[in-house]
Amino acid sequence: MNVWNCIINKDGKLISTPSSATESTAARAVALGYFDGIHMGHQKIFSTMLEQAKNLKIRAAVQTFENPPASKSQKNLITTYPERCRLISHMGIDDLFALPFNERVKRMSPETFMEVCLKGWIHAKVIVVGRDYHFGKDRQGDVKTLQNWGDKNGITVVSVDPINYEGRRISSSWVRELIASGDVDMAEKLLDHPTAFSGIVEKGQQLGRKLGFPTANIRIPEQKMIPKFGVYASAYLLDGKMYPGITNIGMRPTVNKEDTTPLTETMIFDGHYQLYGTTGTVMLLKFLRPETQFTSVDELQAQMKKDQEAARQYHRSRQIPVRFEGYV
């Protein structure tokens, strides 16, 4: 997948990196949106766009933003920009076009966005969006705006209806609610992939190792939303292979008196690995219990043994393979 980044200069002109994106005359079908989480509703938009591209024998593209638009939370993301790129790249997309959501883009009128970005930069022949898609300054543009403009420019605009699950529309907001409450197994159903965190494995106090539970410690990226504090059955992605494990997320109140930022601590079952300084990915599969402050380290150690058995039981009973293609 090609990734095309761009800036809008002070004259309102679009400068692409690499420049060959604007020089190319290849027609494209393009899906528009921020696509936080790449949930099942987003995937329906992609599959509709891919079908259009296949039928017309043109390139398949996605246009998104590097950073959250004003309508999105800046520090409550399901997926970071690199994670969205990786997930999208596994869906058969040819080109990803990314705009920075800065003041110039924020003030861009719907008409300028359509002419400069969709027509001039992407060379859109087909545009696919969700039914509630809005764009341009103050979200003034909508599906009808696109369709009217498309009719005048020979560009097909396709509106995709949302997907409902158990009577409720699947949305990024709903997924965030689920992650915040610890319901990561329901979130996985809506996303079609687990809630995940990637980062550099830190060398901590090594207390887990001393207690017989060595862990890989990873900070939650600043822009990512923080799940409910507690213990989860999890999976750890290492060198393209998935390992069952158990993860604690939180402040570690029994043993931590200084650190003020949450940490993910993951124990990989049945193996010893040198992970310090490597990049790891943790996938949360099932919430087991909330974070608790114990009266002693011995009490904590006894509970950790119970948690480990609960997580092992979950892994033994799980019937659905863990999907991790977009995190490799």
The percent of residues in the chain predicted with pLDDT above 90, rounded, is: 62
User: Is 257's pLDDT higher than 70?
Assistant: no
133, 165, 197: which is the final residue of a domain? 165
Q: Are residues 136 and 274 in the same domain?
A: no
pLDDT (tens digit, 9 = 90+) per residue, 109-122?
Answer: 999 999 999 998 89
Average pLDDT over residues 147-157: 98
Nearest to 132 by CA among 63, 48, 32, 263: 32
Contact between 262 and 226 under an 8 Å Cβ cutoff? The reply is yes
User: Which CATH number is 50's domain given?
Assistant: 3.40.50.620
Q: Are residues 150 and 212 in the same domain?
A: no
If phi > 0 it is left, if psi is from -120 to 50 it is alpha, else beta; for residue 293 that is beta
Q: Are residues 139 and 210 in the same domain?
A: no
Please count the residues of the chain: 328
Q: Say what the pTM is.
A: 0.89
Q: Are residues 151 and 175 in the same domain?
A: no
Q: For position 299, what pLDDT does the model report?
A: 86
Q: For position 175, what pLDDT does the model report?
A: 98
Q: Are residues 203 and 107 in the same domain?
A: no
Q: Are residues 118 and 200 in the same domain?
A: no
165, 187, 217: which is the final residue of a domain? 165
Average pLDDT over residues 281-286: 96
What are the tokens at 4? 């095309």
Contact between 62 and 97 under an 8 Å Cβ cutoff? The reply is yes
pLDDT, the chain, mean: 88
Question: What single-letter DSSP state applies at residue 323?
Answer: P
Domain that holds residue 112: 2-165
Give the CA distances from residue 198 to residues 177, 222, 270, 327, in Å, rounded to whole numbers and listed in that order. Answer: 21, 12, 22, 9
130, 165, 200: which is the final residue of a domain? 165
User: Is 272's pLDDT higher than 90?
Assistant: no
Q: Are residues 201 and 105 in the same domain?
A: no
Q: Are residues 219 and 289 in the same domain?
A: yes
Query: Considering its fold, how many domains does the chain have in total?
Result: 2
Q: For position 210, what pLDDT does the model report?
A: 53
What values do phi and psi take at 62, rounded to 5?
-130, 135
Q: Are residues 45 and 187 in the same domain?
A: no
Q: Are residues 248 and 275 in the same domain?
A: yes
Q: For position 296, what pLDDT does the model report?
A: 80
Cis peptide before 262 (omega within 30 of 0): no
- In the chain, DSSP assigns E strands to 2-8, 14-17, 28-32, 59-65, 95-99, 124-130, 156-160, 164-165, 168-169, 195-200, 216-219, 230-238, 241-250, 263-268, 279-290
pLDDT (tens digit, 9 = 90+) per residue, 192-221?
Answer: 999 999 999 987 666 555 555 678 999 888
Average pLDDT over residues 164-191: 97
d(CA 280, CA 322): 16
Q: For position 183, what pLDDT does the model report?
A: 98
Angle at 282 between CA 207 and CA 263, to 5 degrees: 45
Q: Are residues 66 and 112 in the same domain?
A: yes
User: Which CATH number is 312's domain given?
Assistant: 2.40.30.30
Q: For position 221, what pLDDT does the model report?
A: 86
Q: Are residues 210 and 79 in the same domain?
A: no
